[in-house]
Structure 1
Amino acid sequence: MTISNIMVSVDLGAAASDRVRLAAGLAERFGSKLTGVAGRPVLGPIPIGDVLQAERAWAAEERSAEEDLAAAQALFAREAAAAQSRAWRSVTGSPLAYLAAQARSADLVVVGRQGPGDGDPGVMAVSVGPLLMEVGRPVLLTPPGLAHLAAKRIVVAWKDTREARRAVHDALPLLARADKVHIAVVGPAADQEGAEDAAAYLSGHGVTVTTHLLRSPEISPAEEILRFARREEADLMVMGAYGRSRLREWIFGGVTRDILQTTPLCCLMSH
């Protein structure tokens, strides 16, 4: 399996440069095209009585949006130099809706973590939770400050669900190139989650795997899987994203929510 097109969300937040460099490094390694994608909503003016003044405010906001998109394109061109094949797509509109639509031509979508302590990435940022629910593609979540992903030591956070099976399948190009792959199952019923069958599936694709059953009752499942990943010096985690939409409210379970906000390593997720 190959990765032919990697799509990266570009905004003007502090972590954007590292995210683009990380995606460009992956594209160079896999011989993939790297596509930068940005959306900038035009924020409507505050209602006022003077129609002419409102029109001027709207025109100024449109100019600001165009300038932000140009700045994002320049950032992408500067930081994506490692990728041999590059493309750029942008729109004056919703960054989430635009990225979700453009991802129809992508094999992998790269976005940034947005935890409580990660700072404000601005109006061009794409929230990974809603994106996971809409995109229909694997999403690589990258923490701030990471500009390179070797993906040589990978932890698969396994649970016998559709989402986890999808994530393992989507991650095969990376798993096949890893030096070490660990399947880790968390919880008191860890031995009933079919980890050995998941390992056999990967072995059939040439991946050498070890399985681990983690049953610590003292800490949360998210903390336990992240502690295991640190112990194994992993730089990538693969897992299913468990959530649902209710009237456009994006609801995720505890483990998914905690990983989305706090993961210190890259995480490939599928829903």
Structure 2
Amino acid sequence: MDFANILVSVDDGPGTADRVQLAGALARRFGATLTAAAARPMPVPSMHAALQHEDDIRSAEEERLGADLAGIRALIAREAGPLRPTVWRQALASAAEHLIRQARGADLVVVGRRGPADGGGLLSVPPDRVLMEAGRPVLIAPPGIARLAAERILVAWKDTPEARRAVSAALPLCRSAATVLVATVGPDAADEGGADVAEHLARHGARARVRLLHGARGQDESEPLLSLAHREGVDLVVLGAYGRGRLREWAFGGVTRSLLQRAPLCCLMSH
């Protein structure tokens, strides 16, 4: 398996240029289509305006959206570099809902990190919702990261369906990495089957080895994982995204929530 279509979320924020560079480089690496998606909700008109001029309002808003996004489209043409095909998708809609719809034709979705200090405007997309609803692996890129070599990859392994899907999604990157560390955390780390995962990756051509991180029960597992990533020069973390939802309010587990908000390196997650 390789990536044939990479979908990137674009918006009017300062992180878009770096994110497009990153996604464009990945698309060139795998000979993939780069699809860029942006959307803005249709403003709610007054009842009178809605009844009298609905078509005119929509036409005006579509024209305004096109004008607002013209600069972003030019940025994509400039930053994505020479690609096989580049596809543009824009809509008057919720930015998250539009991206999730476009994900049906993608192998990988690239979004920006949205931590408390990262900001985000009307066009930006919350990664947590995309993770839970897109049904595709999601690459979360922190601000300021414009390149992903994926030379040294850390698999944050927990023997769950989400982690298994994340490892499968990361295979195209793992095969060409110089090192893949399969790390488990906690007092029962040795029982999580990390050695089996490393062997599985090796069958696919990856240079994988196991690391056991014996943390205390109940400890925030993101701390030892990020410390290991820093020591080993890791530039990509692969992990399952763990959470439960009720009435569209998602509650994530500690590691997922922590990495979504503050990881200083790219994270490839799958739910």
Q: Same fold (TM over 0.5)?
A: yes
Listed one character per residue, the Cα deviations across residues 114-162 of structure 1 (whole Å, up to 9, x for unaligned) are 1111123x11111110101111111000000011110000000000000
Counterpart residue number, 1:167: 166
1:25 and 1:82 in contact (8 A); partners too: no
Question: 1 CA distance for matches of 2:43 and 2:235?
Answer: 38
Structure 1 distance, partners of 2:29, 2:168, is 20
How many residue pairs match? The answer is 270
Q: How does 1:217-232 map to 2 (within 5 A)?
A: 217=216, 220-232=220-232
Shift of 1:198: 0.9
SS in structure 2 of the partner of residue 251 of structure 1: strand
Alpha-carbon distance in 2 for matches of 1:13, 1:133: 23
Structure 1 runs (4+) deviating above 3 angstroms are 45-49, 51-64, 216-219
Contact 2:40–2:122 under 8 Å retained in 1: yes
Please tell me whether the aligned partners of residues 9 and 99 of structure 2 are also in contact (alpha carbons under 8 angstroms).
yes
Matched AA of 2:148: L
The aligned counterpart of 1:131 is 130
Aligned to 2:113: 113
Which residue number in structure 2 is paired with residue 154 of structure 1? 153
Query: Which residue of the partner structure matches residue 33 of structure 2?
Result: 33
Tell me, in whole angstroms, the C-alpha distance in 1 between the residues paired with 2:110 and 2:85: 16
Question: 1:75-119, CA deviations, whole angstroms, 9 ceiling, x for partnerless residues?
Answer: 222221243321111111111111111111111110000111112
Within 5 Å, give how 1:177-192 maps onto structure 2: 177-192=176-191
**Residue by residue, what CA displacement relative to the aligned partner does 1:30-54 show, whole Å, maximum 9, x if unpaired?**
11111111111123257899x9999
User: Structure 2: which 5+ runs fail to align?
Assistant: none
CA RMSD of aligned residues (A): 2.4
Q: Please tell me whether residue 246 in structure 1 is matched to residue 217 in structure 2.
A: no
CA distance in 2, matches of 1:111, 1:59: 29
Alpha-carbon distance in 2 for matches of 1:116, 1:233: 25
Higher mean C-alpha displacement, 251-260 vs 39-48? 39-48
Aligned to 1:145: 144
User: Contact between 1:38 and 1:72, CA under 8 Å: does it hold in 2?
Assistant: no
Moved more, 80-89 or 23-32: 80-89
| Unpaired segments ≥5 residues, structure 1 | none
Identity %: 52
Cα distance, 1:36–1:253 mapped onto 2, change above 3 Å: same
Deviation, structure 1 residue 192: 1.1
Instruction: Quote the residue 2:13 is aligned against.
Output: 13
